A and B are shown apart, each in its own frame.
Chain A
């Protein structure tokens, strides 16, 4: 409650700013490309439709069936697993790399440029490259003759989830590193100077200045990570040759397979709505929990 009250003056100030009409084009696009398709999917979730004949309205028939299907439950759990593990893996790496590359030394600039490379490759290219590298018979492991690398990476049902999380991390850590690099460079040098005078060590400076000052960057990056890994599709699809196995049947994949391979667009729409709900809950939860919407300044008194 107090949080909303505190937020009010800020909002009011914004409403008095430029004309509200400026939101119209964005709103139009948002309606046309997000809300209308969403409503269509909601409608389709109450029908059976094979994309060839006309949709047949079946009321709530699809919902209990899809929700109680072990495949769907497995897909929800897998998606949440991907979200959580991706966050746990990517956040520390990109935070540390971001802090490291924020330094002004030349070699760090060079390294930053190298770290940045995976981001400019398209997801499809990344997936095709990793598929070739991980091939058990012709891939890197087999050609180098290193038995440890010669695993059934994409076929072993216990490994594939982690392989996918690794590839996602490889591709997106550079992006989050960039966010953190920008965040670190915004921190006023005077804070560090003061800390140094007080005799704080480097590690103490990191935990007491850098980390608290990066709070909002962490929230932004986490929100993007969570939303991104929840809807991750292309790399998984290509890595598995277009026919993903149950062990990597995350929600977006389950949705695609149910819709476009099995031709059950009603059931696929149910999964789509589940995906939207989970995404909204996670994004809202994250902003609520962290007080991101308040956006109070971290630099008061400077």
Chain B
């Protein structure tokens, strides 16, 4: 519109005077732009180099309030030469912001991330520092399955910094009792439980299908139980046609079997996780069971403390008889990770590495996490967990320690383009718009992207 009327004005008057004017205006515009650009770059540089101390970006929420924030305050008091200043962002906003900042070379010295595909792309672009030798001394402190996610091509680029959060199988004890069943331990028990729970008028499973990634938890566990970790490892390795694995197709057939049986709450594709509607379905007694991350336990505690104490049960995902996967395998988020930016100054990098190796998971850091009922990804601390092995934290730790394979959430592990396609296709699979074979065909096309 604007462009059009501009052109028209020029055309109509046609006088050389206005041409000259247009040229001048373009020149002014260009000058303004240049000015803007230089102003931007100079502030960017000063913000990074002003103090010589390291900068850090983290996520706002319980981590910031109870662990990172207090830990940094202590650290900065004790280490005047290795200062770290932090900024905290909301989860979704952070994901976009950090990507562009790393790409533009304006990343903080300490980068929070989820490892996986994003870390791989940082490493390929040379945006993060190799921490292998710096972290040699602290490596043994961590659970190997968690530590391993920060290793790319044999070199360590990211270190764990917050809680282990596998995907847990939650259930409402009262409703299961009312239906006369136990928490399912096998796939067949799940199928048998569905009609019984429907008979007492509740949905067997709560699912935030609108958010898509909670649906992925079903996919991850079923593929693991049916085909073992090898099926997804082949996808990660970029083997052509690896989504055609019979185990993946079988797992997806089982998912549609659940949908057909009405296992998921009515309108599950409208339910979203960001409003905690899926958690609410469980504690309001509208749904009996749910697959969700260990991180929702604190939501249960906050929104329904009595329910959490008396009626909330939790366990791991049931086994599939005849499946290749070990029923002790778990999937989820091994941890959050810190990396050091390659575009930070040497001083900043030194301060950052100091903090990551000496400040993160020092005694006070670990104690604060335990006090906040979070499970640190450290080896041999089972006995220190608040509430002991009978508590939720104890159960999470026991599962993590005993797991032969801890599969990172697929949407994090895969490169972003494949992760996005995965969620979109999974949504269509759950809505029965595509068959398991079509799902595999669509996903095979994304390999290598």
Q: Let me know if B367 is at the binding interface, CB within 8 A.
A: no
Q: In the complex the two chains form, is B4's CB within 8 Å of A240's CB? A: no
Name A's interface SS. Answer: helix
Q: Chain B interface: which size bin?
A: 35 or more
Q: Let me know if B397 is at the binding interface, CB within 8 A.
A: no
Residues of A within 8 A of B21 (CB): 20-21, 23-24
The smallest beta-carbon distance between B158 and chain A, in angstroms, is 15
Interface string of B197-217 (1 = CB under 8 A from A): 000000000001111110000
Q: In the complex the two chains form, is B423's CB within 8 Å of A243's CB? A: yes
Q: In the complex the two chains form, is A246's CB within 8 Å of B428's CB? A: yes
Q: In the complex the two chains form, is B12's CB within 8 Å of A30's CB? A: no
Q: Let me know if A290 is at the binding interface, CB within 8 A.
A: no
Q: Let me know if A170 is at the binding interface, CB within 8 A.
A: no
Q: In the complex the two chains form, is A15's CB within 8 Å of B286's CB? A: no
Q: Let me know if A92 is at the binding interface, CB within 8 A.
A: no
Q: In the complex the two chains form, is B270's CB within 8 Å of A11's CB? A: no
Q: In the complex the two chains form, is B266's CB within 8 Å of A136's CB? A: yes
The smallest beta-carbon distance between B394 and chain A, in angstroms, is 32
Beyond A20-B18, A135-B271, A138-B280, is A242–B103 a contact (Cβ under 8 Å)?
no
Q: Which of A92-137 touch B at CB < 8 Å?
A: 131-132, 134-137
Q: In the complex the two chains form, is A132's CB within 8 Å of B99's CB? A: no
Q: In the complex the two chains form, is A32's CB within 8 Å of B273's CB? A: no
Contact of B273 among A14, A27, A150, A241 (CB under 8 A): A241
Q: Let me know if B192 is at the binding interface, CB within 8 A.
A: no
Tally of A-B residue pairs with Cβ under 8 A? 170
Q: In the complex the two chains form, is A241's CB within 8 Å of B272's CB? A: yes
Contact of A223 among B1, B125, B277 (CB under 8 A): B1
Contact of A257 among B1, B9, B208, B420 (CB under 8 A): B420
Q: In the complex the two chains form, is A261's CB within 8 Å of B24's CB? A: no
Q: Which of B81-115 touch A at CB < 8 Å?
A: 92, 96, 99-100, 102-103
Q: Let me know if A260 is at the binding interface, CB within 8 A.
A: yes
Contact of A243 among B9, B96, B211 (CB under 8 A): B211
Interface string of B275-295 (1 = CB under 8 A from A): 101001100001000000000
Residues of B within 8 A of A27 (CB): 6, 22, 25-26, 28-29
Residues of A within 8 A of B33 (CB): 31-32, 36
Residues of A within 8 A of B428 (CB): 245-246
Q: In the complex the two chains form, is B122's CB within 8 Å of A52's CB? A: yes
Contact of A261 among B5, B8, B210, B420 (CB under 8 A): B420
Interface string of B33-51 (1 = CB under 8 A from A): 1001000000000000000
Q: In the complex the two chains form, is A152's CB within 8 Å of B421's CB? A: no
Residues of A within 8 A of B419 (CB): 261-262
Interface string of A224-244 (1 = CB under 8 A from B): 000100000000000011110
Give bound CA distance, A9 to B5, whole Å: 16
Contact of B424 among A14, A23, A50, A245 (CB under 8 A): A245
Q: Let me know if B416 is at the binding interface, CB within 8 A.
A: yes
Q: In the complex the two chains form, is B210's CB within 8 Å of A11's CB? A: no
Q: In the complex the two chains form, is B213's CB within 8 Å of A52's CB? A: no
Q: In the complex the two chains form, is B272's CB within 8 Å of A131's CB? A: yes
Q: Let me know if B77 is at the binding interface, CB within 8 A.
A: no
Q: Let me know if B124 is at the binding interface, CB within 8 A.
A: yes
Q: Which of A235-272 touch B at CB < 8 Å?
A: 240-243, 245-246, 257-258, 260-264
Give bound CA distance, A260 to B421, whole Å: 13
Which of the listed residues A11, A223, A241 has the most CB atoms from chain B within 10 Å of its own CB? A241
Residues of B within 8 A of A135 (CB): 270-271, 275, 277
Give bound CA distance, A247 to B78, whole Å: 55
Q: In the complex the two chains form, is A136's CB within 8 Å of B13's CB? A: no
Q: In the complex the two chains form, is B269's CB within 8 Å of A245's CB? A: yes
Q: In the complex the two chains form, is A241's CB within 8 Å of B100's CB? A: no
Give bound CA distance, A248 to B218, whole Å: 24
Residues of B within 8 A of A53 (CB): 103, 121, 124-125
* 11 more CB-based (< 8 A) A-B contacts, given A32-B36, A52-B99, A246-B433: A11-B12, A28-B32, A132-B275, A152-B270, A155-B269, A155-B270, A241-B211, A242-B211, A245-B212, A260-B99, A284-B4
Q: Report, nearest first, the 5 A-B pairs whose CB atoms are least far apart.
A: A155-B269, A136-B267, A11-B12, A241-B272, A31-B29
Binding site for A on B (CB under 8 A): 1-6, 8-9, 12-13, 15, 17-18, 21-22, 24-26, 28-30, 32-33, 36, 92, 96, 99-100, 102-103, 121-122, 124-125, 127, 208-213, 265-275, 277, 280-281, 286, 415-417, 419-421, 423-424, 427-428, 431, 433, 449
- What are 6 contact pairs spanning A and B, CB under 8 A? A11-B8, A31-B25, A31-B30, A52-B127, A137-B265, A264-B449
